[in-house]
Amino acid sequence: MSERLIPAALVLAFLALLLLGMWLAWRARSRRDAGVAAGQPLPADGIHPILTTDVLYVATTKAGQPLERLAIRGLAFRARGELTLAEEGVVLTVPGQDPIFLASAQLRSAQPATWTIDRVVESDGLIALAWRSDETDVDSYLRVIDPPQHSRVLSTLSTLIPAPARPAFTDSTTSTESEK
């Protein structure tokens, strides 16, 4: 009996240490990402929906770093949810969480993606929604459950993303050439 007890105790101790390490690492990540806000409050006068569809929320990562998960409140874990595209922006509703509202001004781009942390799908099966949270650029990955809706969601998102601000065009060479 004691021949089996010592190895079993060692395995249990190792598993307990492993779980403790995982918990401490997640806690440290959550503290690190505590300053990154998950969207804004919903507008007081409501939103005007354009399109609503069921999605699988996959992950939110640092912009351009699809393997660096962010532990943002409301967006830390994969879940099934509902994506609402509205004139005012995007609302992601995950059961058990407050809705995440991203105003159109926060949106930077939306493009097809194939992989992100812990998820690989068929070519362009995900949507990478790039947005700005305070001073942090992030990418959120979504998978539209109804495949025919995928391209419709992407095209609607493209209409919500503001055009980049263009600097005023000043042509200094024109004035110097005309003076010559």
Which tens digits make up the pLDDT trace of 36-64? 777 788 888 889 999 999 999 998 888 88
Write down the pLDDT at residue 119: 74
What number of other Cβ atoms are within 10 A of residue 163's Cβ? 5
Write down the pLDDT at residue 84: 95
Per-residue DSSP letters for 90-126?
Answer: EEEE-TTSPPEEEEGGGEEEEEEESEETTEE-STT-E
Write down the pLDDT at residue 175: 43
Buried b / exposed e over 26-43, threshold 16 CB at 10 Å, is eeeeeeebeebebbeebe
Write down the pLDDT at residue 174: 45
Write down the pLDDT at residue 40: 81
State the residue for tokens 């005012």. Answer: 88
CA distance 92 to 153: 13
* pLDDT at residue 18 tops 90: yes
Write down the pLDDT at residue 180: 44
* pLDDT at residue 3 tops 90: no
Write down the pLDDT at residue 86: 94
Q: Which helix (H) or strand (E) holds 59?
A: strand 49-62
Confidence class of residue 90 from pLDDT cuts 50, 70 and 90? very high
Write down the pLDDT at residue 101: 93
Confidence class of residue 177 from pLDDT cuts 50, 70 and 90? very low
Write down the pLDDT at residue 1: 57
Q: Is 41 helix (H, G, I), strand (E, B) or coil?
A: coil
pTM (global) more than 0.85: no
Of 73, 135, 138, the closest CA to residue 109 belongs to 138
Tokens of 7: 């190895």
- Model confidence pLDDT, tens digit, residues 116-157: 887 777 778 899 999 888 778 899 999 999 988 999 999 999
